[in-house]
Amino acid sequence: MTDSSSPTDPEVAKPVYKRVLLKISGEALMGGQQYGIEMDTAERVAREVSAAVTSGVEVCLVIGGGNIFRGLSAAAKGMDRAAADYMGMLATVMNALAMQTALERIGVPTRVQSAIPMTTICEPYIRRRAIRHMEKGRVVIFAAGTGNPFFTTDTAAALRAAEMGCDALFKGTQVDGVYSDDPRKNPDAERYDTLDYLEVLARDLKVMDAAAVTLMRENAIPIVVFNIHDKGGLARVLAGQGRATVIGKRPELPAG
């Protein structure tokens, strides 16, 4: 059976991006569970990534840790903020290893690089090595955030996207773009097809934290927000066809 996101599908055009960073939340791996990792869900996301790699796109990932531990929430309940954030970073390493397993089960070579060295289970973050991995067709998963407390995984994703020279940062969410309010709670929420970085900040749209949006603006890297649960959705937005919100400049499609 051919996946609908397969690059052989005539309805999906060739990608207009060469190298991208995909940021997904830890909650995207929960599936129908209340917490933790549902491997069927991880494998479905892995198939989306596999289709992108097969089409010739170089892919790196950052995965949040909210399905296991939220540092900010723990700090709000009295835990030391720095300690709580470090625990959250460890949760992202667990998610990265789970996604690596899911990807390699379907034949996609993958490397996990951690900003906090833990060489027994993964590589330390080395920028030039990460770039070389992607040039060889491997997926690289960046774990442990920036390696510092008080920074979110959104900021880590923006930082790595800039360091890797990515053409775009793809934010896989639970809905098909950016809305003025949560469309799952407010049916009258307005959906945006395109936004400027400053509009996101001025309207406080909560797509990513302000530091991440500012970093993308300074490096002129567009943010593409789409539904990670839409089968074949990643392939379509990579081709500039899918339903998504683009923050920044949308790439020009090839002539013809």
What DSSP string runs through 119-172?
TTTSEEP-HHHHHHHHHTT-EEEEESTTSSTT--HHHHHHHHHHHTT-SEEEEE
More confidently predicted of 30 and 11: 30
Nearest to residue 172, comparing CAs of 217, 117, 234? 234
Tell whether 147 is in a known binding site.
yes
Three-class DSSP category at 214:
helix
Residue 74 pLDDT grade (very low, low, confident, very high; cuts 50, 70, 90): confident
Q: Are the beta carbons of 92 and 63 closer than 8 angstroms?
A: yes
Q: Are the beta carbons of 218 and 201 closer than 8 angstroms?
A: no
Tell whether 150 is in a known binding site.
yes
pTM of the model: 0.91
Tell whether 2 is in a known binding site.
no
pLDDT reported for residue 6: 46
Tell whether 174 is in a known binding site.
yes
Tell whether 247 is in a known binding site.
no
Architecture of the domain whose range is 19-247: 3-Layer(aba) Sandwich (3.40)
Tell whether 182 is in a known binding site.
yes
Query: Chain-wide mean pLDDT for the chain?
Result: 92
Tell whether 106 is in a known binding site.
no
Tell whether 146 is in a known binding site.
yes
Q: Which of 59-73, 129-143, 153-167, 212-226 has the lowest mean pLDDT?
A: 59-73
Tell whether 149 is in a known binding site.
yes
pLDDT reported for residue 195: 96
pLDDT reported for residue 9: 54
Does residue 77 surpass a pLDDT of 90?
A: no
Mean pLDDT of 86-101: 97
Tell whether 120 is in a known binding site.
no
Show the CA angle centred on residue 47, arms to residues 103 and 37, nearest 5°: 65
Does residue 41 surpass a pLDDT of 70?
A: yes
Tell whether 66 is in a known binding site.
yes
Q: Are the beta carbons of 155 and 213 closer than 8 angstroms?
A: no
Tell whether 137 is in a known binding site.
no
Q: Which of 44-58, 69-83, 129-143, 228-242 has the lowest mean pLDDT?
A: 69-83
Q: Where are the domains of the chain?
A: 19-247
